[in-house]
Amino acid sequence: MLVLTGLTLFGQVSPIHSFRQWMGGQEVGGSTLETRLDGKVREVRSREWMVLSRMGQEIREEVSETARKSPEGQLTFTWRLQLSSEPFEGRAEWSPREPGVLSIQPTHGSAVRKEVPAGALLWPEDLESLLKEAARTGKAVEATTFSFPVQQWSGLHLVPQGAAPLPGFPDAVRFTGEERDGSVTAPVEVWISPTAGEVRQRTELGGLELLTQRSELPAPIPGKGPGKGFFERTLQTLPLDPFQPWITELVLRGEGPLPNLPEDAQQTQLSKGRWRLRRASFPTPEEAAQLPVKGTPSPDEARFLAPSPLVQFQDPAFDGLIRRMALSPGLSRWEIARRVNTFVFDWITEKDFTVGFASALEVCHHPRGDCTEHGVLAVALLRRLGVPARGVTGWVGLGEVLGLHFWVEVHLKDRWIPIDPTFDQAPASALRIKLGDTDLSDLGSVGWEGAALAFTGVRWVPEQEGKIACLGDLVTGPGHIQLRLPRGHWDLQQGVLRLQVSKGSPWQVQAVNRPSESQLKGASHLAGGRTLRHGWWNPASRVLWMDLGEGRWIQVEGVTEADAYDLLDQLMAATSSS
Reported as a single tens digit per residue, the pLDDT across 517-575 is: 889 999 999 999 899 999 999 999 999 999 998 889 999 999 999 999 999 999 998 75
Residues 551 and 576: their CA atoms lie apart, in Å, by 13
Is residue 477, in this structure, part of any structural domain at all?
Answer: yes
The CATH number linked to 368 is 3.10.620.30
User: Is there a single domain that holds both residue 33 and residue 107?
Assistant: yes
- Average pLDDT over the chain, rounded to whole? 89
Contacts of 340 (CB under 8 A, 6+ apart): 325, 378, 381, 382, 385, 387, 421
- Indicate the number of domains in the chain: 3
Contacts of 331 (CB under 8 A, 6+ apart): 292, 339
Q: Does residue 141 carry a pLDDT above 90?
A: yes
User: Is there a single domain that holds both residue 205 and residue 136?
Assistant: yes
Beta sheet of 481-484, edge-to-edge order: 469-471, 474-477, 481-484, 572-574
User: Is there a single domain that holds both residue 544 and residue 420?
Assistant: no
- Encode pLDDT of 146-191 as tens digits: 999 888 899 999 999 999 999 999 999 999 999 988 777 889 999 9
Q: Among 185, 214, 243, give the residue marking a domain's end.
A: 214
Is residue 224, in this structure, part of any structural domain at all?
Answer: no
> 176 is in which domain, residue-wise?
14-214
Q: Where is pLDDT greater, at 466 or 392?
A: 392
- Encode pLDDT of 39-84 as tens digits: 899 999 999 999 877 666 677 889 999 999 999 999 999 999 988 8
Is residue 228, in this structure, part of any structural domain at all?
Answer: no
User: Is there a single domain that holds both residue 519 and residue 441?
Assistant: no
What's the whole-number mean pLDDT along residues 122-146? 96
Residue 126's nearest CA partner among 58, 72, 182, 75 is: 75
> Count of CB atoms within 10 A of residue 58's CB?
10
User: Is there a single domain that holds both residue 183 and residue 243?
Assistant: no
Please give the torsion angle defined by the CA atoms of residues 18, 53, 230 and 211, in that order, rounded to the nearest 10 degrees.
-20
Is residue 474, in this structure, part of any structural domain at all?
Answer: yes
Is residue 206, in this structure, part of any structural domain at all?
Answer: yes
Q: Among 447, 463, 479, give the residue marking a domain's end.
A: 463
- Encode pLDDT of 74-124 as tens digits: 999 999 998 888 888 999 999 999 999 999 999 887 888 999 999 999 999
Is residue 9, in this structure, part of any structural domain at all?
Answer: no
User: Is there a single domain that holds both residue 360 and residue 278?
Assistant: yes
Is residue 6, in this structure, part of any structural domain at all?
Answer: no
Q: What confidence score (pLDDT) does residue 514 get?
A: 94
